Structure 1
């Protein structure tokens, strides 16, 4: 028990950071209304607070202040030519085992500007020594984690709750979030970069 408590204290003392595409508050509200309707049919164990909805662009983990400062300077310069872009969200999906998924998400369109934005942010972060996930970029909005149903997850359920009319919004702000595991909502904006 003491070892676990010590590890948790260490985790809280070493905050994690990540860059994300910020989702406008109005869109967060629309997403939350959708989620409240479908929650009874999807017994996941941990639901994300609406304020924490985002699209992750680069997860950094622990970071020294100088690393963050240098990365922010590079990002500010390299994304200055990227204009705001249109985004759409209208369907649900999962990551993990098909019958016991670990992540429940809402999709995101993948415009070329979003791909370019993410590529520039990755290059900036890697230039400062960050070891980043090399898996294919699959933009999404995490809604919940850890399947908790008594029966296996039924993938056919997803199509029943997709939206007939997509939620449309504009991607125009990148933020650096700090994670606070002892708070709800748990993500704090440390820096923001407006696309214009």
Structure 2
């Protein structure tokens, strides 16, 4: 049985991707060893699924559609730089979600519950809506990076309406992951 590495996500508008790249460019000046995310790969992961049997993909898309359809579309504003686990010990560098964060948490939870019903179990870590900008690969220039993260904590970004979520497959290549949309679900379409 073939399995496909996949996740449920929110695609971003070109304006938000452009804004995220501006923030990445600012943070690159620290000179830290970071693998920066390319704009075509930027998204907000709602539920990481891991390896899903290919025969289960239609059921996953139906579960995603049930959860999305039960929730109205909403506005989202991205704003502020930060890092997990902390700015002074960064592993993952992100652009945060200000407005719409509670709705994204509710949507992520609803999708997870629908997936549980069909036997697809998702990551149980506390969900913190964000756009991953990069992943730290080494310890070089960490202090400079932490300072730039603090200086951009209120980085003003862009807004978009959240009206659709997607199921994405991820194929890992040497140059980075290759994403392919396998299904779409509109919010408020139950």
Map of 1:85 onto structure 2: 74
Q: Deviations over 1:83-120 (max 9, x none)?
A: 22111112111113654422111101344432221111
Q: Deviations over 1:146-175 (max 9, x none)?
A: 243524445343121245533222212201
Q: Which runs of 5+ in 2 are unaligned?
A: none
For 1:83, what is the secondary structure of its paired residue?
coil
Map of 1:127 onto structure 2: 117
**CA distance in 2: counterparts of 1:111 and 1:98, whole angstroms:** 20
Could you tell me which of 142, 145, 161 is aligned with 1:170? 161
Structure (1 or 2) with the greater strand fraction:
2
Map of 1:140 onto structure 2: 130
Q: Give the TM-score, by structure 2 length.
A: 0.84
Runs of 4 or more, structure 1, over 6 Å off, are none
Q: Deviations over 1:55-77 (max 9, x none)?
A: 11110110112322112112212
Q: Give the TM-score, by structure 1 length.
A: 0.81
For 1:32, what is the secondary structure of its paired residue?
helix
Q: Is the 8 A contact 1:147 1:153 kept in 2?
A: no
Correspondence list, 1:19-34, <5 A: 19-34=8-23
**CA distance in 2: counterparts of 1:141 and 1:71, whole angstroms:** 23
Q: Say how many residue pairs are matched.
A: 184
